[in-house]
């Protein structure tokens, strides 16, 4: 089920509401939430990168790695090493 269906809105209406009230698209908001979950898991668990990707809602470890690197400027493994010091 997608966000629009869950809220009972049409996709365009949901998109406009997000932009108006939050300032970003629903997709970007979801991606940011997934990345925050991943950062918590990387910092506080022994989960593998593929497990972190799956738990955080990414399709696969590759899409997770690319999204994380683009958002944070470092690879997930490097983030883990930095936060575990």
DSSP line for 27-55: HHHHHHHHHHHHHHHHHH----HHHHHHH
pLDDT for the residue numbered 42? 96
Check: CB of residue 3 under 8 Å from CB of residue 26. yes
* Inter-residue contact 2 to 10 (CB < 8 Å): no
Would you identify the CATH topology of the domain 25-83? Arc Repressor Mutant, subunit A (1.10.10)
pTM of the predicted protein model = 0.82
Place 17 in a pLDDT band, splitting at 50, 70 and 90: confident
Distance of CA 18 to the CA centre of its chain: 17
Distance CA 69, CA 49 (A): 13
Across the range 67-75, mean pLDDT stands at: 97
- Rounded Cα distance between 80 and 82, Å, is 5
Residue 84 in this model has a pLDDT that exceeds 70: yes
């Amino acid at each position: 089920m997608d966000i629009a269906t869950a809220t009972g809105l049409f996709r365009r209406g949901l998109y406009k509401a997000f932009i108006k009230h939050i300032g970003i698209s629903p997709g970007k908001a979801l991606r940011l939430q997934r990345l925050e979950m991943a950062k918590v898991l990387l910092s506080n668990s022994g989960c593998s990168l593929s497990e972190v990707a799956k738990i955080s809602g990414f399709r696969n470890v590759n899409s997770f790695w690319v999204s994380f690197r683009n958002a944070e400027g470092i690879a997930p493994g490097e983030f883990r090493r930095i936060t575990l010091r």
